[in-house]
Homo-oligomer: A and B are copies of this chain.
């Protein structure tokens, strides 16, 4: 799908895509290795990465899908600054709690500042300034923002980095019942978000600590390389949210129930007796990567930060809040953990950096290059995003770069095929190739 910020096509002679033959030896997990090899990221300091053009493009697509699904539930996107004053954190009591993971800074006037690891305090303060009564509720606000946690041992590339991109959302309601509706909307929108990103993310009950109740879930991508053990009923995995009819203004409880009634649990929350009830043929014990976490925490921040509004009867009530997060840079790595083979990445089409690669294997043949230049324009005019390999390097290197970066389709054009009026179309997932007319190839790539 064409997006407006991103260009429709690039020529690899102009594109900055420094692919590597081998990943550095300190890259331990496959997503880290492949992201380095594909020229998507570059480490600048421990746990701190540059997003090179190819990586930035994918990160942008992931962010756009997240925003789109948030928009559908009426959530408002905004952006808070990365640098925060320490004052709010002292009020909430978390300034001391956070310890060395918080990056603390003194500015030139010796004010205590910090690079935000999360934003409950700031959003509560912003909202307190605005909300006066129950009429201003419910509200659902989110941002996609760079955060910093000074991990003692950053590792696994962007999976556990120090500077990382996160979608953090905050819900505000007059009471628990109203908040439950926000919670359900976000629950369903998260199912849709991850499904659109091309991965299976299973919601699993998370610890609610002193808050109590059941309104806390983690969303876990299944991947053999995941950090935590998970146990789940096969029937949850087989559900498909994109097939559901969803009315966000209606009652979402039945959908939430459908996705939570079958057993699915991290090892942390594992309950032997419940697991025993799952039919043996349905038992799936594997590993997973946490990519989302939603939780309702009631008045935990609104009480200490003084966020109260007038209810219908005029009495002042503390707001009921919840936090809703997706690890954006982390889900990028998670997608690669779930979608790769021995040749490289096999991107789901929704987040593939381009729909198709166009490979000119007879660069020195004037006719072939002229034809490729025309195909490059035609593909873009057909709303197909294309990476055009017009580099003066061997065909083998071109093919392996295309396989490495995981484009769903590759169109190969050479002197000989042109003479026959054909191109070769290659499917990344199956590896199958077909000789076709260029028009037929376009139709297949467009999914017609």
Contact = CB atoms under 8 A, between A and B. Distances in A.
A111 interface: yes
B108 A50 contact: no
A51 interface: yes
Contact of A163 (B59, B83, B108, B150): B83
B74 A14 contact: yes
A146 B71 CA distance: 24
A126 B18 CA distance: 10
A45 interface: yes
A286 interface: no
B64 A79 contact: no
A152 interface: yes
Interface stretch (A2-10, A272-280, A312-320, A398-406): A2-10
Nearest to A71: B7
A203 B84 CA distance: 36
B81 A82 contact: no
A11 interface: yes
- The size bracket of the interface on A is 35 or more
Contact of A81 (B44, B76, B103, B135): B44
Contact of A50 (B78, B100, B113): B78
Given A4-B68, A105-B103, A146-B146, A53 B77 contact: yes
A148 interface: yes
A187 to B, nearest CB: 18
A72 B107 CA distance: 40
A266 to B, nearest CB: 28
A163 B82 contact: yes
Contacts of A67: 5-6
Contacts of A113: 45
A71 B143 CA distance: 25
Interface in A1-55: 1-7, 10-11, 14-16, 18, 42, 44-45, 48-53, 55
Contacts of A82: 82, 146, 163
Given A111-B45, A115-B83, A5 B50 contact: no
Nearest to A2: B4
Interface in A56-81: 56-57, 59, 63-64, 67-68, 71-72, 74, 76-81
A14 B45 contact: no
A392 interface: yes
Contacts of A44: 80-81, 84-85, 122
B129 A42 contact: yes
Contacts of A63: 5
A141 interface: yes
A139 interface: yes
Interface in A125-161: 126, 129-130, 135, 139-141, 143, 146, 148, 150, 152
- Among A5, A56, A126, chain B packs the most CB atoms within 10 A around the CB of A5
Contacts of A130: 16, 18
Contacts of A74: 10-11, 14
B81 A163 contact: yes
B84 A45 contact: yes
11 contacts: A4-B64, A5-B68, A15-B76, A42-B129, A44-B84, A44-B85, A48-B83, A49-B81, A50-B78, A51-B78, A83-B115
Given A10-B74, A44-B122, A82-B82, 4 more contacts: A44-B85, A50-B122, A59-B79, A83-B163
